[in-house]
Amino acid sequence: MNPPDPNKKPGALTGCRVLDLTTPLGHLCGKILGDLGADVIKIEPPAGDAGRFRSPFYYDSSGAAQSLFWLAYNNNKRSVTLNLETGDGKEILRRMAGKADFLVESYPPGYLDSLGLGYSGLLKENPRLIFTAITPFGQSGPYRDYQGDDLEILASSGVMSVTGHPGKSPLRISVSQSEAWASLYGAMGALTAFHHRQQTGRGQFVDVSAQSACVIMCAHAPWFWDYNRDNPTRQGEYMTGRTITGARFRTVWPCLDGHVTFIIYGGPAGQKTNRALTEWMDTHGMAPDFMKQRNWDEFDVATVTQDEVDRMEEEMGKFFQNVTKKEFLKEVVERGMLGYPISAADDILNDDQLAARGFWQELVLPGREKPVQFPGGFTQFSDMECGIRLRPPQLGEHNQEIFQDEMGFSLAQLEQMRAARTI
């Protein structure tokens, strides 16, 4: 574990306590509050949080399976085990809630209420508590009790209908995204409520729907319907809806070692890009006369015809086929063009921009010598710390520290609770 650096500045939430009762849907919410400095206590069932059982797994030197999803979203948390379905477990949670600033949970609606540990129950212990509940569809409404994993949340959010190829199956992103979106909106809601509490002293309940959160993945598509009764659909490697001529534009291009993204744009940035690309192509003798002679300052994407787009794209496509991803990135940056390679995990880990900003944080995981690079803080503050202080905890790693040292249970009591499977 990294020892705390005394020279480090505090975070925005240093001194705040978060109780994290989340399943995978809410892990990132607790992590965001922890990255801002809060002391986050992950309260897990004695068998371990559901996120720990989520594949794919890495097997450490002792043979223990470590979920990559779990590792990714649970740093800055201390772990205790607590069986909330026992009398002692409930009592301990109530005590902990009395001293907490935030509680974040993502159990099915009504579950914690059924144990007397819902918002109304815990409000009595602590009227200052910000209670954030993250669920697939929200705490009420016709879909409240529906089963929802990544696919259901994304399907119902509309985004799949605009992702993929025309006539083929709607698609999701192959690394699940709905949990991150739900958690992001959870943290937004929790901090909005916290801002209010710091002014008034009163906590409140924050009800987050993952479906609602993921509607934003549709970006502006809903307004095509709302304004003009157009229903955007899947366009594969193309982009449409940007012209009055109905022209479509290619977005994804094969290159020498993968793919790049390049889209013909108008406006000042697009005009500059088109000119710069023509010049770049020309250095390889691959710029056709019609592109060299084009007055790019007058190029308007709204009125360009499909015929002209096709002619340009044919030449661009030939040119990109001989460019590597790395070369493409270098040239677009030097030439001030819009466009980026389609990066995979290895490209991102090797990107010098991220390294130069000190983005990665190296953590040593139990049962492994070689350190692992984790994405660091989500932003850089001039006067505050934001990032990883603690590696993701092992199950119940902090039972003794929290129950004995901080809450005052004796070793004998802990043994009893362990025997009763309360912890």
Partner 1 sequence: MIEFAAFAAGPCVGKYMANHGAFVVKAESRSRLDGFRAHYPPFKDNIKGVNRSGVFAFNNDGVYSLGLNLKVPAGVEIARRLVSKADVVIENFTPGTMKKLGLGYGELAALNPGVVMLSTCNLGQTGPRFRHPGFGSQLTSLSGFTYLIGEPGGTPVIAYGPYIDYVAVGYGYIAILAALEHRRRTGRGQYIDLSQYENGVQFIAPAILEYQLLGRIPTRQANRHAYAAPHGVYPCAGEDNWCSISVFDDQEWSLLVRTMGRPQWAQSLRFATQLSRKENESELDELLGQWTRTQRPDNLMQSLQKAGVHAAKVNKIADLFSDPQLAHRGHWGKVEHPEVGSHHVEMPAFALSDTPCADPTPEPCLCEHTELILEKLLGLSKDEIEKLAAQGAVELASPKVSARPS
Nearer to partner 1, 110 or 267 (CB): 267
Neighbours of 95 (CB within 10 A): 12
Q: Give least dist CB 290 to partner 1, A.
A: 24
SS3 252: strand
In whole angstroms, how close is the CB of 301 to partner 1 at the nearest point?
Answer: 7
We find the least distance from the C-beta atom of residue 368 to partner 1, in angstroms, to be: 8
Report, in Å, the least distance between residue 89 CB and partner 1.
26
Q: How far apart are CB 414 and partner 1 at their closest, in Å?
A: 33
Distance CA 123, CA 8 (A): 35
**Tokens representing residue 355 in the block:** 């390294």
DSSP symbol at 209: E
Residues 6+ apart with CB under 8 A from 388: 2, 35, 75, 76, 361, 363, 374, 376, 377
How far apart, in whole angstroms, are the C-alpha atoms of residue 136 and residue 147?
A: 8
Instruction: Compute the least distance from the CB of residue 116 to partner 1, in Å.
Output: 19
Nearer to partner 1, 35 or 44 (CB): 35
φ, ψ (nearest 5 deg) of residue 173 = -85, 135
CB contact set of 340 (below 8 Å; sequence gap of 6+) = 260, 261, 328, 329, 332
Which residue, 93 or 134, is less far from partner 1 as judged by CB?
Answer: 134
Minimum CB distance to partner 1 smaller for 175 or for 420: 175
Task: Closer to partner 1 by CB, 116 or 375: give it.
Answer: 375
CA gap 363, 372 in Å, rounded: 5
306 exposure class (CB count in 10 Å sphere: 0-12, 13-18, 19+): middle
184 versus 256: smaller Cβ distance to partner 1: 184
β pairing state of 17-21 and 102-105: parallel
What are 259's strand-pairing partners? 254
Smallest distance, Å, CB 149 to partner 1?
A: 6
CB of 351 to partner 1, least distance (A): 8
Cα separation, 70 vs 285, whole angstroms: 51
**Between 350 and 410, whose beta carbon lies closer to partner 1?**
350
Q: Strand 77-81 and strand 39-44: pairing?
A: parallel
Residues 6+ apart with CB under 8 A from 384: 9, 10, 11, 12, 36, 37
CB of 41 to partner 1, least distance (A): 20
Q: Is the peptide bond before 56 cis (omega within 30 degrees of 0)?
A: yes
Please say which residue, 244 or 419, places its beta carbon nearer to partner 1. Answer: 244
User: What is the full DSSP assignment across 304-340?
Assistant: --HHHHHHHHHHHHHHHTT--HHHHHHHHHHHT-S-E
When the beta carbons of 86 and 238 are compared against partner 1, the nearer one is 238
